[in-house]
């Protein structure tokens, strides 16, 4: 009787850990979403002429925050394990949020290429190199998150997740080439 009781307690504690980890994924995805929106909004507002150093540094800060949130997201996603153990609905909702972040990122990458002359014209040396560094870091953290999500996603989401990763990597290649 005692071993059944303790086995049941162990089962409940294990289930709680899985649910807490899914909650962590959802919470961290909220940070990723907020950071992707912030970076996209700052780049959309960054003028093609007459930009300030403060605006450029705000974009740098947003890129650093976005990259850090993606890296944390990759770690949490990997630690969670297969999302098959969660409901398919939860996995689909998570992917919908990932897709929205991916769309923000794609637009931000487009904007950063278009606005390179504005970054270059600022009266502070090394700003394009800082942008390139931010792009390299964002690229690495985006790959880490994409790989972690693809590794745990249900089979039904793999084609869309893989396609999103390929699209974002292509956009990164264009942006990195523009600043290289």
Residue-averaged pLDDT of the chain:
85
Nearest to 155 by CA among 102, 98, 95: 95
Predicted local confidence at residue 86, as pLDDT: 55
Cα-only R_g, the chain: 20
Q: What is the DSSP letter of 155?
A: G
pTM comes to 0.83
Predicted local confidence at residue 21, as pLDDT: 63
Candidate from 12-26, 89-103, 141-155 with smallest mean pLDDT? 12-26
Residues 6+ apart with CB under 8 A from 134: 60, 63, 64, 67
- Name residue, tokens 């699209």: 167
Kindly tell me if the per-residue pLDDT of 30 is higher than 70.
Answer: yes
Predicted local confidence at residue 20, as pLDDT: 38
Kindly tell me if the per-residue pLDDT of 38 is higher than 50.
Answer: yes
Top-confidence residue, 80 or 73 = 73
């Amino acid at each position: 009787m005692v071993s059944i009781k303790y086995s049941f307690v162990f089962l409940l504690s294990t289930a709680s850990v899985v649910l807490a980890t899914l909650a962590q994924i959802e919470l961290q995805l909220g940070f990723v979403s907020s950071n992707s929106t912030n970076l996209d909004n700052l780049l959309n507002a960054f003028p093609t002429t007459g930009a300030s150093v403060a605006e450029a540094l705000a974009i740098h800060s947003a890129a650093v925050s976005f990259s850090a949130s993606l890296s944390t997201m990759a770690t949490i996603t990997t630690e969670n394990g297969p999302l098959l153990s969660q409901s398919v609905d939860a996995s689909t909702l998570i992917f919908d949020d990932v897709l929205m972040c991916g769309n923000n990122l794609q637009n931000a990458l487009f904007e950063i290429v278009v606005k390179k002359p504005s970054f270059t014209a600022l009266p502070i040396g090394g700003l394009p190199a800082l942008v390139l560094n931010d792009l390299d870091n964002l690229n690495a953290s985006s790959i880490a998150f994409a790989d972690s999500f693809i590794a745990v996603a249900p089979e039904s989401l793999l084609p869309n997740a893989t396609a999103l990763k390929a699209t974002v990597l292509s956009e990164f290649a264009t942006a990195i080439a523009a600043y290289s």
